[in-house]
């Protein structure tokens, strides 16, 4: 994992972003290419993973009111959550999100009664009338996903009447 971006879904300006120094030599070339980040640069300038995860956990603690529990919300949460959960466990020994993950694609399936094959980013944003230019910057992606999530919440409320 080379970067982490997060924001509150109810306030995307409340955000967190960090670029990590790689914790292993071998990387997936296609993933590196998509991110636009240079692992060689991050080896020198990136935040060590343990420090990054401590900062992220601190941000979560400061951002989520004590009366609430943090929920990991993502477009295809199963994919993103496994990386975050792994790094939290490996570097801190605990995951502040626990098993609380909400998948935007599954939410869309339920609200719109579509199949999994109809939940691509392109299909969902088109159906919701949202224009998103995927940057593959972790923070911008998190903010885009918050927009999608909030649009789905509005749609769900409208359907209820």
Cα–Cα distance, 130 to 155 (Å, whole number): 13
Please give the model's pTM, rounded to 2 decimal places: 0.91
Q: Specify the pLDDT at position 69.
A: 94
136 is catalytic: yes
Cα–Cα distance, 60 to 33 (Å, whole number): 29
Report the Cα 3 to chain-centroid distance in Å.
Answer: 11
Q: Name the catalytic one among 58, 94, 99, 136.
A: 136
Strands 72-74 and 101-103: parallel
Q: Tens digits of per-residue pLDDT, 116-145?
A: 999 999 999 999 999 998 888 999 999 999
Q: Specify the pLDDT at position 52.
A: 98
């Amino acid at each position: 994992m080379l970067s982490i971006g997060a924001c509150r879904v109810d306030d995307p300006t409340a955000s967190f972003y960090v670029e990590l120094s790689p914790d292993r030599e071998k990387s997936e070339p296609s993933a590196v290419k998509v991110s636009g980040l240079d692992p060689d640069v991050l080896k020198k300038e990136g935040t060590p993973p343990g420090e990054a995860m401590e900062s992220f956990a601190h941000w979560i603690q400061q951002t989520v009111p004590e009366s609430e529990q943090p929920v990991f919300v993502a477009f295809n949460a199963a994919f993103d959550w496994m990386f975050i959960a792994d790094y939290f466990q490996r570097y801190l020994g605990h995951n502040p999100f626990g098993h609380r993950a909400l998948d935007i694609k599954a939410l869309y399936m339920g609200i719109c009664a579509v199949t999994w094959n109809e939940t691509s980013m392109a299909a969902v944003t088109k159906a919701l009338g949202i224009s998103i230019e995927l940057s593959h910057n972790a923070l911008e992606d998190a903010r885009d996903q918050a927009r999608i999530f909030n649009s789905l919440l509005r749609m769900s409320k409208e359907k209820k009447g």
